[in-house]
Amino acid sequence: METQAHAHAELEIPYTVQPRSDTGLYNAKLGIWLFLASEVMLFGALFSSYILLRTGAATWPRGWEFLNVPLATVNTFILIGSSVTVVLAWANFRLGNFKWGRIFISLTVLCALLFLMNKGFEYHHEFVEHRMPSSSNFMALYFTLTGLHALHVIGGVIVFLYLLMPGAKMWKTAPARYTNRIEVAGLYWHFVDLVWIFLFPALYLM
Amino acid sequence: MSDQAIPSTAADRLPLPETAAEDQHTHGGVHDPNLHHSPEEIKREIRVYLIVFAALAFLTGLTVYACYGLAMPVHYAIIIALVIACTKGFLVAGFFMHLLSEKRLIYSVLALTVFFFSVLMWGPWNHFVDAMGHK
Amino acid sequence: MTDQLNKTGSSARHEDLAIPSDHTNAEHHGPPLPWIQKYVFSTDHKWIGIQYGVTALIFLLLGFSLMLLMRLQLGWPGHAFALLNILGPGRATGGILLPEGYNQLGAMHGTIMVFLAIVPLAVGAFGNYVVPLQIGAPDMAFPKLNMASYWFYFVGGVIMLTSFAAPGGTPASGWTSYAPLSIIATSGQTFWLTGMVFLITSSLLGSINMIVTIVQLRAKGLTFMRLPFFIWAQLVTGFLLLLAFPPLEAGAVLQLMDRVAHTSFFLPAGLVISGEVLKVAGGGNPLLWQHLFWFLGHPEVYVLILPAMGIVCEVIANNTRRPVWGYNWLVGSVLFLGFMSFVVWAHHMFLTGMGAFVNSFFQTTTMIISIPSVVILTVFFVTLWGGSIRFTTPMLFALTFLPMFGLGGLTGLPLGLATADLYLHDTYYVIGHFHYIVAPGTIFALFAGIYYWFPKITGRKLNEVLGKIHYWGSVIFINGIFFPMFFQGLAGVSRRLYDGGVQYAHAKAVAQATNPFMSISAWCLLVFQLPFIVNIVWNVIAAMRGKKNVGDNPWQATTLDWAATTSPPLAHGNFAVLPVVYRGAYEYSVPDYHEADFLPQHVPWPVTPRSSGGGTMAAPAVAQREE
């Protein structure tokens, strides 16, 4: 339990940094895994809908008939790379290397923005070819699933920008708590990557 | 190397053991990846991350080549792509998310989730396979 | 008789055992918070609980009012009621509800009651206020997230209400929003979908907070099997919300795409509306919506009932002065119930053409899920045996919950059997079934909770005379509304008919015989809520003026929430020193303990008398309430 040695306006919630002994977890760690469990159910429902609509359809196009597989492959490498950078960031913060931690978080954000930019090119290309969500269920699923995924990428970018800039003040006052925030944000980010790992073949390669 | 002085209140201390003796200390039998790794161990972890990255890159190339490069028929493509995706997913979850060394409570939550996820995958689809007038 | 002395005549003594709040350390907490941070964007679970409670009770009254308007028409179809004209010309003309207007009221009544009233009250209000106190924690695990979840709920509610002003009116496709009707419905339906996204977000943040709080912030010595059943119920409810809502969120996104981006997730090709073929790509499946909706919808009804069961357990144990019989059965049952609730959903879809295997599967799981409910009810009934029952107002409501929930549950059995459901589906039998569970079931339990915890929040007990008037009027007239519904359903009266069924020859006689009686009961029920409203408002005002009339533990209860001082001050933590727990939650009438007929969880054995020094209790201090 945290000490009450210093006066401050915030309430002392136990186990924000030190893990509770019987669960072995600090609060945010359990919290983020619970959140990720709910996200598994969210994307699971969408995959389930995909399966249902595809098996119920008389015909279904192969991904490359309408989509740019090479560009999406590059995007996959970028996103996986961003997962590496974020875990390297966390390792550096644990080593006390604030500077390198920040560099790796910035690289993560950069990768995410590249990913979104490529997605933008993809969408633009589809619109130019007059392929809209309303054109077919294939396109509807493509736009909805990748769109929701992209929203999650944007959410991650916002969190990392916060941790890079206004949130970085916490490194000076509570570095362990800050490192935990990086870990927790990183877990979310890996999940975003994980969804793409399944989304990419499901839409582009099948 | 540390860039700035780190305050030393107990709650805020970086989770690095300050002495070798402390490194052996188990905090009530709890193993926490945060608390028990020396700088050497963390650097070894970094090597693992890079190896996993290489594996993921390779598997990505493999799945694209197998399904798209070889224009595999749909049924084979689905199986190959899913097997490779599950392998990649296992690597990301197991190593990047440290699931391989996570606590039992997290495993329990995820086991429950995986079960309900499977129900969600099976239910709507099974309805149509088993629907009246379908066969 | 509310301050009855316990067996040994020493009711006052254990009020000294309250643990002081941290108010004495106020000067260590920095300058006082500005008003907007203290009362609007508060991060204190107690104030957030009150915010949820007040908002939810207002929505409850609103949802109730919509039903009252519907029942005017149902009781006397074709008869003009000037009151109905307040709904505006799009919904009612000449004092008669238009069919579109009736559908709007029906959809909004269901949506408001389920998503804006009951769940926020049961989980947001009771959960947030009571859980940290009952587990001996200073607050919820994530106070800022807690604040966010209230405001997401508020915004979602506002969006739902704004739909009344939308051209074309409110959502009108039932609270279930079935496709394809909901896809072609007016703009109000888009409000429903957007509002639901906010509500689901609120629920998600709240459930994460609840689970982490219960798992991580339990006081020292408070093992899982020493938890009050209320906490178990909230824990399982948290998991239901966490894992079951996302598929509905996915469905809502898909339906939004269908409506706004003209996709065809739920629209088959060749759909003909008013003689014209709908121009969409097609290939979609309306039943996909039903699966996604009911995957949440079924666990949702357990979200409606579990916190209520938790409240009933607390009130019954406290007012029988004996331990709960079969606590382990309660825990096992609630865990099993929560798990099973995920695999029964398609019993809402027995008439959609599913095959024999699927029908049988869901029928079997539905029959199995009735078992833990019966076990829980049995535990409560047996707990009454040999108890010294105190018929306080909360106890009256809690006792009545038992047969009312029992009736609701029993009437679920023919609905869960696919063959019988062929006849009863979409009739008033269903409406009677689920209302018995939620209205004289859950709502009565929530009333019990309000009467029970009001003294903790305010330092005043609600008036017993008004409480008993509220109780007797409610129990009589709520049965008057819902009991005849079973006969209507068996006679074949369909639901969602804006004239109550009189347009159908087979239904006309039964409808005409029962509907007026039910409508009169509904309006009488309204009358008997007035003593409740007056009771609350009066006592809240008196409490705000500092006029407390009870101490910290007026019910002589054992759980940690009663170990906190009355109305623990905001933002300063609930306990000066976090309690340590030595025993289970229901140690009433402990055989070798003669000081009182209850032994609180946080008191070490043996108890030393107060103020004579020694012992392990801090000197009691009654915290001043924050202004």
pLDDT in tens, C200-246: 999 999 999 999 999 999 999 999 999 999 999 999 999 999 999 99
Tell me the chain C residues in contact with residue A56 when contact means C-beta distances shorter than 8 Å: 283, 285
| Interface touch B56/A33, C-beta < 8 Å | no
Residues of A with CB under 8 A from a CB of C: 7-9, 11-15, 20, 23, 25, 27-28, 30-31, 34-35, 37-39, 41-46, 48-49, 52-53, 56-57, 132-137, 140, 143-144, 148
- C368: amino acid identity, one letter: I
A41/C253 touch (CB, cutoff 8 Å), yes or no: no
In degrees, rounded to 5, the angle at the alpha carbon of residue A117 between the alpha carbons of residues A114 and A119 is 110
- Amino acid (one-letter) located at C113: M
Verify whether the Cβ–Cβ distance A49 to C257 is below 8 Å. Answer: no
Distance from CA of B39 to the nearest CA of C (A): 29
Can you point out the beta strands (E) in C43-184?
Answer: 92-93, 96-97
Q: What angle do CA A185, A190, A192 make, to 5 degrees?
A: 95
Q: What are the Cα distances from residue C599, in Å, to C382, C585, C593, C606?
A: 21, 9, 8, 10
Q: What is the pLDDT of residue C29?
A: 55
Q: Which chains touch C (3 or more CB pairs under 8 A)?
A: A, B
B124–C contact, CB cutoff 8 A: yes
Task: Collect all residues with Cβ–Cβ distance below 8 Å to C590 and sequence separation of at least 6.
Answer: C598, C599
Using the beta-carbon criterion (under 8 Å), do B37 and A94 form an inter-chain contact?
A: yes
CB distance B130–C354 less than 8 Å?
A: yes
* Sign (positive or negative) of CA dihedral C246, C247, C253, C256: negative
Contact map slice: C 334-373 vs A, CB within 8 A: none
CB-closest option in B49, B64, B124 to A87: B49
Residue-wise pLDDT tens digits, C161-188: 999 999 989 999 999 999 999 999 999 9
In sequence order, what are the residues at sequence separation of 6 or more whose Cβ sits closer than 8 angstroms to the Cβ of residue C65?
none
pLDDT digits (tens, 9 = 90+) for A127-152: 999 999 999 999 999 999 999 999 99
Backbone φ, ψ for residue C598 (5° rounding): -150, 150
CB C448 within 8 A of CB C311: yes
Cβ contact A84:B50 at 8 Å: yes
Dist CA C380 CA A146 (whole Å): 50
Q: Which of C31, C211, C281 is closest, CB to CB, to A135?
A: C281
Contact predicate A16/A177, CB 8 Å: yes
Shortest Cα distance from A32 to chain B (angstroms)? Answer: 10
Q: What is the mean pLDDT of residues C592-619?
A: 67
Cβ C153 vs Cβ C109: under 8 Å: no
Q: Which residue of B has its CA nearest to A61?
A: B74
For A70-114, the three-class secondary structure string (H helix, E strand, C coil) is HHHHHHHHHHHHHHHHHHHHHHHHHCCCHHHHHHHHHHHHHHHHH
Mutate to test the interface with C, among A1, A3, A11 (most CBs of C within 10 A): A11
**Percent of the residues in chain B that have a pLDDT greater than 90, as a whole number:** 53
Residues 6 or more apart whose CB falls under 8 angstroms from that of C409 comprise: C370, C373, C374, C377, C437
CB pairs under 8 A between A and C: 136
Task: Please indicate whether, in this complex, the C-beta atoms of A137 and C295 are within 8 angstroms of each other.
Answer: no
Task: Supply the Cα-derived Rg of chain C in whole angstroms.
Answer: 25
How do C92-93 and C272-273 pair as beta strands? Answer: unpaired
User: Which pLDDT does position C20 carry in this prediction?
Assistant: 72
Nearest to B120 among C215, C247, C287 (CB): C247
Q: Chain-wide mean pLDDT for chain C? A: 91
State the amino acid at position C273 in one-letter form: I
- Say what the alpha-carbon torsion angle C437, C439, C445, C446 is, to the nearest 10 degrees: 130
In angstroms, rounded to a whole number, what is the distance separating the alpha carbons of residues B53 and B60?
10
For B55, the 3-state DSSP assignment is helix
Query: Measured between CB atoms, does C132 come within 8 Å of chain A?
Result: no
Of the residues A16, A27, A33, the best mutation for testing chain B's interface (the one with the most B CB atoms within 10 Å of its CB) is: A33
* Alpha-carbon distances of C266 from A53, A98, C247, C255, rounded to whole Å: 9, 51, 15, 7
- How many Cβ atoms are within 10 Å of C272's Cβ, its own excluded? 8
Cα-to-chain-centroid distance, residue A43: 13
Strand partners, C19: C564
The answer, yes or no, to whether ipTM is higher than 0.85 is yes
**Cβ C261–A148 below 8 Å, yes or no?**
no
CA distance C288 to chain B (A): 7
Cβ within 8 Å of A, C 284-313:
284-285, 288, 291-292, 295
Length of chain C: 627
Specify the amino acid at residue B36.
Answer: H
Q: Are the beta carbons of C139 and A132 separated by less than 8 Å?
A: no
* d(C-alpha A179, C-alpha A18), whole Å: 12
Q: How many CA atoms lie within 13 A of C141 on its CB side?
A: 27
Q: Which residues of A touch B1 (CB under 8 A)?
A: 96-97
Mean pLDDT confidence for C545-570: 91
- Could you report the per-residue pLDDT of B19-29, keeping only the tens digit for each? 444 444 433 33
3-state secondary structure of C173: coil
Q: In chain A, count H helices and then E strands.
A: 6, 0
Is the CB of residue B107 less than 8 Å away from at least one CB of chain A? no
Helix (H) or strand (E) holding A140, with range, is helix A137-164
Yes or no, beta carbons of B68 and A202 under 8 Å apart: no
The chain A residue lying nearest B123, using CA atoms, is: A48
Say yes or no to pLDDT of B32 above 70.
Answer: no
Query: Comparing C425 with B34, which gets the higher pLDDT?
Result: C425
Q: How confident is the model at residue C154 (pLDDT cuts 50, 70, 90)?
A: very high
pLDDT in tens, C249-293: 999 999 999 999 999 999 999 999 999 999 999 999 999 999 999
With CA atoms as reference, report the closest residue to C310 among C227, C212, C221.
C227
pLDDT band at C624 (very low <50, low <70, confident <90, very high): very low
Contacts of C342 in chain B (CB under 8 A): 116, 119
Residues C432, C160: Cα–Cα separation, whole Å = 26
Give the C-alpha distances (Å, rounded to integers) separating C459 from C394, C475, C549, C577: 16, 27, 6, 21
The DSSP element (H or E) to which C398 belongs, if any, is: helix C393-416
Q: How many CB pairs under 8 A join B and C?
A: 44
Kindly tell me if the per-residue pLDDT of C416 is higher than 70.
yes
pLDDT digits (tens, 9 = 90+) for C88-130: 999 999 999 999 999 999 999 999 999 999 999 999 999 999 9
Query: What pLDDT, on the 0 to 100 scale, is given for residue A41?
Result: 97
Q: Give me the residue from B112, B126, B133 closest to C358, CB to CB.
A: B126
Tell me the residues of chain B between 32 and 91 that have a Cβ less than 8 Å away from chain A. 32, 34-35, 37, 39, 42, 45-46, 49-50, 52-53, 56-57, 60-61, 63-64, 67-68, 74, 77-78, 81-82, 84-85, 88-89
Q: Once rounded to an integer, what is the mean pLDDT over residues B43-48?
A: 91
Cβ pair C246:A41 closer than 8 A:
yes
Low-confidence ranges of chain A (pLDDT < 70): 1-10
How close are the terminal C-alpha atoms of chain C, in Å?
31
pLDDT, tens digit, 9 for 90 and up, residues C382-391: 999 999 999 9
Closest CB to A98: pick one of B4, B89, B121. B4
DSSP SS3 for C494: strand
Quick one: pLDDT at residue C602? 94
- Angle separating helix axes A27-55 and C286-320, nearest 10 degrees: 140
Rounded distance, CA C604 to CA B34, Å? Answer: 36
Q: How far, in Å, CA of C276 to CA of B121, rounded?
A: 35
**Nearest neighbour of A37 by CB, restricted to B10, B37, B113:** B113
Asked if C94 and C82 count as a contact pair (C-beta separation under 8 A), the reply is no
Residue with tokens 């390297």: A88
Per-residue pLDDT at C23 exceeds 80 = no
The whole-angstrom distance between A50's CA and the closest CA on chain C is 9
Q: Which of A33, A40, A94 shows the shortest C-beta gap to B106? A: A33
Shortest CB distance from B63 goes to which of A5, A51, A205? Answer: A205
Q: Closest approach of chain B CAs to the CA of A128, in angstroms?
A: 24
